[in-house]
Amino acid sequence: MTTHRRTRPAALALTAAAALALTACSGGDPAATAPAGAARDALPTEDVVAGAGRNEAAAKLLPAEVRERGTLTLAASVGTPPSSAYLPDGRTVVGLDADFAAAVAKALGLELKREAAGFEVILPALGSGKYDVGTGNFGVTEERRKAIDFVTYINDGQGFAARADSPLKAVTDLTQLCGLKVATGAGTTFEQTLEKNKGRCAEAGKEPYEVNVFNESGAPWLSLRQGRSDVVMSTINGIRYAVERQPGTKFLNEYRRLDVGFAFRKGSALTPAFQAAVNGLKADGTYDRILRKWGVTASGIERSEISPPELPAPKK
């Protein structure tokens, strides 16, 4: 098995910054995994939603019963920025998901009742009717589209990171991971991609890679720091945000892009209203303000869609 030895400076730098561990797509206790110290204090808090107005045309698309009660139950997977995180008070949720959800609710004239939930439980809970909508940087895949409807609001995807002293420069073919230990979040598209393609190593006559799956959002990065994993696979935006603030790590590359959306039970009558609201936010400038706030302008989409086809995956 290929191993990579850490230098002492890199290990010390990672120890100092381990709290800023970003996967954005895993569950666990949000309060326990929220970024700590200066990194968490530096989260942007400007109100970019205040300028969003009521979108009457979008609101008219809501089911009558929803307009009458005036509330929506939102299940939010709260992990790490820029997707979602807690402020130092351990209660206030910020991030791309929170801002977009708040902006859409304002446009629709609805009050959001937010409930923190583990990433891996939200999609099944939507199907059971426990929640109206879910957020958690949910990538649109063909498998998920069988049971879930989406309203897209950004484009993110899958990327890789490693320790700064790793010989890896980029992962353009998953066989480059053969013999390595890859850390990722439970129930994510990353786990699915890695498990689906494990056989490529045997086909190439190489040792298989090992997939280390974690429920807590900070655990993959802690595993990397401790040398128990060689690579982290997570969201493109999350990894970029992490390595910019975490000495001793490096962003390897984007592996593939995926549309990301609000999640609903299959056949939900809420999707047309949400789609119209997101497109209205693009028109009034709120959409771009949210992207700029979180430094992810490259994740902007031209228009919101309802359950679009999964973007093509790399063949390697």
CA geometry: angle 173, 211, 164, nearest 5 deg: 65
Q: What is the mean pLDDT of the chain?
A: 86
Q: What confidence score (pLDDT) does residue 187 get?
A: 84
Say whether pLDDT at 8 is over 80. Answer: no
Beta strands 231-235 and 148-163, pairing class: antiparallel
Q: Is the pLDDT of residue 258 over 60?
A: yes
Q: What is the mean pLDDT of residues 122-127?
A: 92
The pLDDT tens digits for 260-315 are: 999 999 999 999 999 999 999 999 999 999 999 999 999 999 999 999 999 988 87
Q: Are 236 and 156 in contact (CB under 8 A)?
A: yes
Q: Which residue has the higher pLDDT, 216 or 140?
A: 140
DSSP states of 51-63 as a string?
T----HHHHTTS-
In this prediction, residue 316 has a pLDDT band, given cuts at 50, 70 and 90, of low
Percent of the chain with pLDDT over 70: 87
- Burial track 162-176 (b if 16+ CB lie within 10 A, e otherwise): bbbebebeebeebbb
Q: What is the mean pLDDT of residues 217-224?
A: 88
For residues 299 and 296, give the distance between their C-alpha atoms in angstroms, rounded to a whole number.
6
Question: pLDDT-derived band of residue 32, with 50, 70 and 90 as boundaries?
Answer: very low
pLDDT single digits (tens) 68-84? 999 999 999 987 799 99
Residue 132 has pLDDT above 60, yes or no: yes
Answer whether 223's CB lies under 8 Å from 212's CB: yes
pLDDT tens across 162-196, in order? 999 999 999 999 999 999 999 999 888 899 999 99
Residue 38: predicted pLDDT: 33
